[in-house]
Amino acid sequence: MVRSQVTRGAVVAANDQPMIVGIPSETFPGERRVATIPAVVPALTEAGLEVLVEAGAGKSAGFQDADYANKGARLATDRQQVFTEAETILQVRTLGANPTAGRSDLGRLRSGQTIIGFSEPLSEPASAGELADLGVTAFSMELIPRITRAQSMD
């Protein structure tokens, strides 16, 4: 299990290396969003995180790989690299919200990883159970309260 801590203002993994946040491309048919846009990358890197973006991840949303690289992200050559290296995965549609194409990611996840995105755990409880069985921590964005105090999480 990978544990992280905030040290000297930076988020580091258990091995004292910067925590890696992975952004894979979306696989749900017709999905045009991307979990992180290039403009957000500097805020993540300034917090001490390393951002790893799958090549082509932003294309459907109108962003080029160079846009991410110019803001400080590292480009992954393939999807497997993102899941292998990242402690945290940011994805628009995770397994439950992408039950067909998202199934292939199940074999890429490992115990101790965190995945954040829309996952439909109430309508797809079996998918949530599969993630739990793997030891993956999942944050379902659609379950975050939409009260004024919580909007700072947007």
Q: What is the pLDDT of residue 14?
A: 62
- pLDDT tens column, 56-96: 999 999 999 999 999 999 999 999 999 999 999 999 999 87
pLDDT higher than threshold 60 for residue 9: no
Q: What is the pLDDT of residue 150?
A: 67
Phi, psi of 48 (to 5 degrees): 95, 5
Q: If one looks up domain 4-153 in CATH, what number appears?
A: 3.40.50.720
pLDDT higher than threshold 90 for residue 8: no
Give mean pLDDT, residues 36-41.
Answer: 98
- pLDDT tens column, 102-130: 888 999 999 999 999 999 999 889 999 99
Q: What is this structure's pTM?
A: 0.86
Break the chain into its structural domains and give their ranges. Answer: 4-153
Q: What is the pLDDT of residue 3?
A: 46
| Residues in contact with 56: Cβ distance below 8 Å, sequence separation at least 6, in sequence order | 25, 65
- pLDDT tens column, 49-58: 999 999 999 9
Q: Do 82 and 22 form a contact (C-beta atoms < 8 A)?
A: yes
- pLDDT tens column, 128-149: 999 999 999 999 999 887 788 7
Confidence of residue 15 (pLDDT cuts 50, 70, 90): low
